[in-house]
Amino acid sequence: MIILAAALAAGCISVEGDRIRAADLAAAVPAFAALAPDAELGYTPAPGAHRMLSPGEVARMAARHGIALETAPGLCIERAMEHLTEERVLAALRAAVGNPEARIELLDFSRYKVPRGELEFARSGYTPPPEGADVPVVWRGKLKYAGNRSMPVWARVRIGIPGKRLVAAEDLPAGLPIQASQVRVETTEMPLFAAAPTQSVEDVVGRVPKRTIRAGEAVPAGVLEAPLEVERGETVTVKVNSGAAQLSLKAKAVTPGRKGDLIMLRNPDNGRRFQGRVEGQGRVIVDAK
């Protein structure tokens, strides 16, 4: 134990990769320089751990490779470790974001030592901020080393992506088609990985909000729908296809609908109800069997 403690006190040999090689030990035991530098002698310990080689183990290791040692020291082996730097973390974050114009504020990051390897931040590790809030969030990543091994790392960041969004110039009531004068495009910053906002006036003109959108609020595509082609109670033109024959008649819409919807109709002559599919504004088609 005294010899091993002395080896630890003297400083550990830092080793790259999963295997201890002859070149790693040659500085402490010059006789190992007789071997090929990449000759494998044993396993490297896990990150943060130490492997203590007793004098007897060092002597046997040398003997297996044809080296006779008059005296063998006790050795301490550790995996090469290093602290992350702000520059390195920022570079990995920028690679993950993929937008050179993005604003990335790095507020803090993993301060413990990690093995030498590749730093990676994947989309799955990003925790988005609450909607509309520009607050710091934690992005969890990993440090990949020794092939398929990895250890967790993290960064506390605030990220904004330049973009454009469509906002309501005035209140947009639910159920009423949007007019071009009611919306405007403005330049803003969007959260990372946010759903793409509606960006042009043409995208929304004529569409109908499912809920009221207040003046100054973004107009999300998810709350818009196509306008009704047929209103409840409207008199529509019904085209009936029956084989090669076609018949046209007028009917009352019992239920409203958009293009492609099945709606209920009523024949004003006899009061009978039947279904048809909305074909366009005020037009319904029925395929009779």
Summarised one tens digit per residue, pLDDT across range 43-86 is: 999 888 999 999 999 999 999 999 989 899 999 999 999 999 99
Quick one: pLDDT at residue 99?
92
- As a whole number, mean pLDDT of residues 25-35 equals 93
Residue 46 CB partners (closer than 8 Å, separation 6+)? 79
Residue 47 CB partners (closer than 8 Å, separation 6+)? 79, 81, 113, 114, 115, 145, 151
CA angle, corner 81, sides to 78 and 87, nearest 5? 175
Give the other-Cβ count within 10 Å of 188's Cβ: 14
Structure tokens at 261: 């919807």
pLDDT in tens, 138-151: 999 999 998 888 99
Please report which confidence band the pLDDT of residue 181 belongs to, taking 50, 70 and 90 as the band edges.
very high
Average pLDDT, the chain: 89
Nearest CA among 112, 101, 161 for reference residue 134? 161
Q: Is the pLDDT of residue 198 over 70?
A: no
- Provide the CA 3 distance to its chain's centre, in angstroms: 51
Instruction: Write the CATH number of the domain with boundaries 235-287.
Output: 2.30.30.760
Greater pLDDT, 175 or 110: 110
Rounded Cα gap, residues 82 and 51, in angstroms: 18
Quick one: pLDDT at residue 188?
84
Quick one: pLDDT at residue 119?
97
252 touches 234 (CB < 8 A): yes
Residue 245 CB partners (closer than 8 Å, separation 6+)? none
Q: Is 26 helix (H, G, I), strand (E, B) or coil?
A: helix
Nearest CA among 92, 190, 209, 186 for reference residue 142? 92
Rounded Cα gap, residues 203 and 240, in angstroms: 34
% of the chain at pLDDT higher than 90: 67
- As a whole number, mean pLDDT of residues 235-252 equals 88
User: Which part of the chain is CATH 2.30.30.760?
Assistant: 235-287
Quick one: pLDDT at residue 124?
93
Stated as kind and residue range, the H or E segment containing 157 is strand 149-168
> Which CATH class, in words, describes the domain spanning 166-225?
alpha beta
Computed over its alpha carbons, how large is the radius of gyration of the chain?
Answer: 36
User: Which part of the chain is CATH 3.90.1210.10?
Assistant: 166-225
Per-residue b or e along 122-136, where b marks 16 or more CB atoms closer than 10 Å to that residue's CB:
eeebbeeeeeeeeee
Quick one: pLDDT at residue 9?
44
Handedness of CA 165, 169, 174, 175 (dihedral sign): negative
Quick one: pLDDT at residue 7?
46
Quick one: pLDDT at residue 6?
47
